Amino acid sequence: MRPRSNALLAAALLAVVLGAGLAAQAAGIHPISGRRFAPVMGFQGAPWLERNEREEEEAPDVALNVLKISKGASVADIGAGSGYITVRLAARVGPTGRVFATDVQPQMLNILARRLDNGKITNVTLIQGTLDDPKLPPASVDLALMVDVYHELSQPQAVLRRVRESLKPGGRLVLLEYRKEDPTVPIKPEHKMSVVDAKLEVEAEGFTLSKVDEALPRQHILIFVATP
């Protein structure tokens, strides 16, 4: 076979593979892991994010202690919702730090804006993201955090690429996800993530899983760094 024919065949095969991947994603299935994407919680679900039981079920301060967030750090709360985690991050980084709180739903950002005003919290920047881009400034954050968010992304590969661009050198991407491996965790299966699937999906977009911490009652703490 001539070299030109080989090149045409390779291009055709690549087009088929890419087309299959796009078709899978359009159908709500991750093209690498085969995981089905969960539906996004609408802004009407904001009260659930603030439920009293969340402290016991998720132990958010334990999670943030594990991450050892320093004063003056720049962090991103991706899928910030009503700001349950945002305000805790703002306290951790202090007045010299910055929190970028990004969400695709303007109604959630409105709720969060009122919360910040009421609490006189001034070190948070609100960002209207899109389904494929959290709209974070390039090389701007030491830590990008998604709390019970990643499994709902309809375009996770594109989001991860944008997140990687937003990290400073040595920055971390952290996912908190309910343990899919544990059938006793009372969450629908599509709203859980296994370590295997998370590693497979995220590492495909230029990250390395550096640590899995199981300090929380029901969630994995999955810590990734950008692959050199």
Percent of the chain with pLDDT over 70: 88
Phi, psi angles (nearest 5°) of residue 32: -100, -50
Q: Are residues 73 and 186 in the same domain?
A: yes
Tell me, yes or no, whether 208 and 105 share the same domain. Answer: yes
Residues 82, 190, single domain; the answer is: yes
For residues 159 and 118, state if they share a domain: yes
The total domain count for the chain is 2
Task: Tell me: do 130 and 153 sit in the same domain.
Answer: yes
pLDDT at 151: 98
Do 120 and 12 lie in one domain? The reply is: no
Q: Dump pLDDT digits (tens) for 13-36.
A: 333 333 334 444 555 999 999 999
Let me know whether 5 and 50 are in one domain: no
The predicted model scores a pTM of 0.88
Domain of 97, in residue numbers: 38-226
Q: 2 falls in which pLDDT band (50, 70, 90)?
A: low
Residues 8 and 119 in one domain: no
Same domain, yes or no: 3 and 116:
no
User: Domain with 98 in it: what CATH number?
Assistant: 3.40.50.150
> Is residue 100 domain-shared with residue 191, that is, in the same domain?
yes
Q: Let me know whether 99 and 185 are in one domain.
A: yes
Tell whether 104 and 194 lie within a shared domain.
yes
